[in-house]
Chain A
Amino acid sequence: MTTTKPSPTPSCHAGGDGPAAVLGAPVVALVGAPNAGKSTLFNGLTGGKRTVGNWPGTTVEVGSAAWAAGGTPVELLDLPGAYSLDSHSPDEELTRDLLYGVDRPVPDVTVVVVDAAQLARSLYLVAQLREHRQRVVLALTMNDVAARRGIEVDPAALARAVGAAVVAIDPRRRAGAQRLQAEVAAVLAGPVPEPRPQPGGLDHDDELAVADERFAWIEAAVSAGSRMPAGARTTVSDRIDRWATAPVIGPLLFLAVMWAVFELTTAVAAPIQDGLGNFFSGPLTRGINAVFEHLGLGGSWLVQFVDNGLIAGVGMLLTFVPLMIIMFALLALLEDSGYMARAAVVTDRLMRRIGLPGKAFLPLVVGFGCNVPAISATRILPGARQRVLTALLIPVTSCSARLTVYVLVAATFFPAHAGTVVFGMYVISILLVVLAGLALKQTLWRSMGQEPLVLDLPAYQRPTLRLTASVTWLRVKGFLRSAGGIIVATVTVVWLLQAIPVRGGASFGHVEPGDSLFAGLARLIAPIFAPLGFGDWHTASSLVVGFVAKETVITSWAQTYAAADPTAGQSPAQLQGHIHAAFAATGGGAVTAAVFAFLIFLLAYTPCVATVAAQYREIGLRWTAFGILMQLSVAWVLACLVFQLGRLLT
């Protein structure tokens, strides 16, 4: 059958003066998925001489050139790349129209470029083409890639399975071009084959049933025409995953890995942190003070601000930078190796087992890094109610900012088991989310639906230094940015409040810590925390300041205690001594219970103003206010329970 067709309209993309096809010559159409080597084959067959133009009425380009198939002059068309003829894109739509347009005859031969390395993927188009009376030839490309992957393709067996000629070619080396020419000529000379048989009773309006029938045909074709390497079904990753994602071993392994991360982080970072702290409180403070003395500013309020504000507060926080680097680097290594993807599978499966929807859990997982993007991530949830509930639950997930306080407190009271205590806080955080989720499951989360998740797990790989360093730096940079921004501002406000006298008659900037406006306000608040075991004004005020950002709990502590001992600077060990003494004084003989009550309060109350702002943006003022009240109430009640029960047991 000979076709007549409108010529492509030349455009500015015209590729050259290709030889014009003989009028009325048979048309051979070249089709195939993008990147299957179709254009390379077209250029190889036609010597790169082609005319390119937009098909009339479309913006889709179609190449055209004269070609000789076994001595028969034909017009070769390079149709747009298409995985299928299902019209998912303008390219696929045009390809379908050119092949089956109601007002156009089909091409005399359709050559389908099939990627031998991805045979099943490439054959969908063939399955569709073979549903029509049409001459089809398969040009098998990427044979070298398939061979490297151990895939053996038998062209003759494949040809029998698909009911069309199959020619293995290498367009880049122009190998097989003559065989393809001969095959196309032979097919052109032969009769038009009948469509492939399809099962009776197939509902052609049922999109899934139709696609399923094609895939059944594909499966039969690839099984008959190719062989996968023996080990293809079980890779090293698969073997590891049998354990890493196993229902019982998987979660235990995940917990063990996370425990190791926290243990390693705290153990390795501790001496570096001490050294850095001693540097800030020693040589750096003395050096800056010497400069101030030299400038004649010794003893001024500016010196007080730099010593007791910036160095004591921000400096103390900066001592946590090595800890952050180590932890972020370890987590980046786990991510880069592919393990964190397995951890996500394990977590999702665990959540499903207790009936929580995996989709709602995703923002919660993000919350362990930082609550702010996690609140934004609630947008992936389908309904307003689910978004509100998840956004309310996210602040309970323990973010990395809280980690600094956990580490300081754990190193102060449990120096030999700091990593385990920090790990325990994360476990408690997960338990709180699960318990709240279970409560919500019976009420408001009930309508979340049954949408299972599956993960395309990347193969395990050796982590790369470049990627690990880049991810670590990205996260440390975020920590440093907050330390240089909102935390400096908070430190300044705290210092100002500490510099204003409310009793004792001292001048601005030279106030005894207990006589400052800050201490006065803190004493008003401190009784609220007395039933929780930490009613000391230093601790109470640090929690109030911590409302801005959790790192400021440390800067506030460091500032209030540094002001009490202005001549000595403030090393981490000194700060830990002050904190220990404060809890011993307020814990009523149950110091451990008071410490855990403090940690629980820290975990459960409002994370930071940035999270509040994100909540306001996502769920509005009313729910945000409700959330803050709920967080404060839950934190207070839980901490009170922990301390009072702990005191009874002590």
Chain B
Amino acid sequence: MMSDIDERDRRIRRTVVVLALTAVAFYGGFILLTALGG
């Protein structure tokens, strides 16, 4: 059974992954948009 702390750690990991992927998407997305727009 998962403790509260484990559950919190799991939520923290998930939030970090989502936020990091968002940052990567903005980085790559804007380079792609510029390439297409130019």
Check if A and B associate.
no
- Interfacial residues, chain B to chain A (CB-CB below 8 A): none
- Interfacial residues, chain A to chain B (CB-CB below 8 A): none
